[in-house]
Amino acid sequence: MIPAKKHVVGITDHMIGAPDLEAGVLGDDVEIDFFASTDEASFTPDRLARLDALMVWGARLGPKSIAHLTRCKGVVRYGVGYEKIDLHALAEAGIPFANNPDYGTEEVADHAVAMILSLHRRLWEHDARARGYTSGWQVHSLKPLSRSNRATVGVVGVGRIGTAVINRLKPFGFRLLGYDPNQPPGHEKAIGYERPERLDELFSQSDIVTLHCPANDETRGILNADGLAKLKPGAIVVNTARGDLIEDLDALEAALRSGHLAAAAIDTLVKEPPGVHPLLTAWRNREDWIAGRLVITPHNAFYSDHASVEMRRNAAKTVRILLDEGKLRNRVTERS
């Protein structure tokens, strides 16, 4: 006898096919309504009104949709960030929200460190320029090029991923700075990094700056024109966190063209897929002035085969615990 369905869980969308893995975690007593859409306008009131819980990947969730979640016990996002989720509207409706912070830490940290080491060693620039060498070979060294133990890496945001980055960089001998006002005094001693009092100090001392903080009112645009101007001349910037942290592509282009910024590696942009901009056109066309100095990956630093399974399983488990126990783990509030 097929057990009756006690709960209905909506899934707006995710990257990998049908929600079969989620179904296995949620159990036979859960009916899954898979919207298979990132378009919030397609979420009809009648489907939303049936849901006991809602899982979200790339879709926006605003007041109009939230108003129809009349029996929803909680909203869970597959990922870590929640800029597309209206937390205020959820709070007004009395619906708790949770993200999924405990997946992909290793992948994002590895991605960031790969970018740091490759740009520091100027590997991509070597590759781009070596294609055109018709005489000589080994003589074509790129300068300046310092040893790791003569360079400083500044980590902005020393949470799970920032800490993982610091731990990975230690064996290379970099001097490590970390800035994160949300970490308690002594965190730097426990992890092993120097802690400047102000972000400007980190910017001015770092040969490489890597971003691992959320995008909020304090951090949005942190490396726009003013922030970039505060960087040490010839610095490298790596962003695997949020596109909003470097939202001014005009300023980024100017800093790269002038040489004030030696190079940049970006995994996340404000607009994805990216639109038309002179800097992006130069990158797409492999223009000589930017050769190997701008690296862009398609917002997949989080991904590995293992992480994608972990992401889906963890999010579904959060919903299952909510349905069974009425408790929402990894809960996020407006003030978080």
Q: Which of 7, 68, 242, 312 is catalytic?
A: 242
> Which among 246, 156, 143 is positioned nearest to 201, based on CA atoms?
156
Helix, strand, or coil (residue 323): helix
Q: In what order do the strands lie in the sheet with 331-332?
A: 30-34, 7-11, 53-56, 75-77, 97-98, 331-332
Q: Which of 50, 299, 313, 331 is catalytic?
A: 299
277 catalytic per annotation: no
Determine phi and psi for 191, rounding to 5 degrees.
-90, -40
Give me 221's structure tokens.
Answer: 């645009």
310 catalytic per annotation: no
Q: Which of 83, 218, 272, 287 is catalytic?
A: 272
Give me 157's structure tokens.
Answer: 């945001």
Containing 194, the helix (H) or strand (E) segment is none
194 catalytic per annotation: no
Q: Count other C-beta atoms under 10 Å from residue 261's C-beta.
A: 25
117, exposed or middle or buried, with CB in 10 Å at 0-12, 13-18, 19+? middle
120, exposed or middle or buried, with CB in 10 Å at 0-12, 13-18, 19+? buried
Which amino acid is it at 71?
A: R
Taking the CA atoms of residue 180, residue 227, residue 240 and residue 299 in that order, the dihedral angle to the nearest 10 degrees is 140
Residue 294: HSE in the Cβ half-sphere, 13 Å Cα cutoff: 22
Q: Count other C-beta atoms under 10 Å from residue 14's C-beta.
A: 24
Enumerate the active-site residues. 242, 272, 299
